[in-house]
Structure 1
């Protein structure tokens, strides 16, 4: 099953160094039956895109925590989503429509692609990361800020390009 793992830049660095992506809490997103039911129309490609967007929103939540803790002032304000093909995936109906749980780390050979915000999204992503919790609680101004970030398309990278991408950002 194709899954979309929310990540951050430090997680990408660690993935390049160790050859394994360690998802936070085993949470990922996929085209689940619940996600399919939540849309009145759309083919599999469109619904996979919706799952990837849920992972991108989760990446904002991860960035919110990193920025809030001030642990890594060098963390680029960019959403990161890692797409992988995995067999051991469990549905998570207690979370978002497309949420799934994966067990263990994701080895590089299972990664299909990596999706990252471009430089022009940094300002919007930083604002959205600060507002995502309020947006989740229904704050319309915060929802607007999150929407501004979500208007930016994530750039696609082949797994073979990720080491260079990480090096360029240092």
Structure 2
């Protein structure tokens, strides 16, 4: 049985369109974020994986903002396809990533870039709502 790992990927609108149209992202590698040993070490005394998952999703949201993107995707991939980076929650995931591996999409709310010291609010969309997410982005 393959062990799965949750990763958080900042995605541009172009990547979301490619995912909708082609049912997968075809890149060979993706910069992403996940709970890593370095992230756990960086938060001593925190044993709750949900806290670490939240932190990884926030790191991905910051990376998305830096890219000019609006979405963080949560995907479950084979443990062996993920390599931990040198810093906190950074990882590299091997592609391609089929749509069926995506659990959810998270739209960055409001003007998060103007408030870098605050938690980034994310609106949750189920993976089956990719079309709806793209409609929301198109109407902003």
**TM-score bin (small chain):** 0.7 to 0.9
C-alpha distance 152-92 of structure 1, shift in aligned 2 (>3 A): closer
CA distance in 2, matches of 1:12, 1:41: 37
The secondary structure found in structure 2 opposite 1:113 is strand
User: How does the TM-score come out when normalised to structure 2?
Assistant: 0.83
User: How does the TM-score come out when normalised to structure 1?
Assistant: 0.69
Structure with the largest fraction of strand: 2
1:72-128 deviation per Cα after TM superposition (whole angstroms, max 9, x unaligned): xxxxxx6211100111111111xx31011111121111011111123xx0xx24xx2
Indicate which of 90, 98, 102 corresponds to 1:107. 98
Alpha-carbon RMSD: 2.0
Where do 5+ consecutive residues of structure 1 fail to align? 64-77, 129-144
Indicate which of 83, 89, 93 corresponds to 2:82. 89
* Bigger-Rg structure (1/2): 1
Moved over 4 A (4+): 22-25
Give yes or no for the alignment of 1:11 onto 2:49.
no
What are the residue-to-residue correspondences of 1:56-67 with 2, within 5 Å? Answer: 56-63=61-68
CA distance in 1, matches of 2:95, 2:120: 30
Indicate which of 147, 161, 168 corresponds to 2:116. 147
* Native 8 Å contact 2:61 2:108 kept in 1: no
Which of the pair has the greater relative contact order for Cα pairs under 8 Å at 6+ separation? Answer: 2
Matching residue of 1:68: none
Shift in Å at residue 24 of structure 1?
A: 9.1
Where do 5+ consecutive residues of structure 2 fail to align? none
Structure with the largest fraction of helix: 1
Give yes or no for the alignment of 1:51 onto 2:56.
yes
Aligned length: 131
Say which is worse superposed, 45-54 or 9-18, in terms of deviation.
9-18
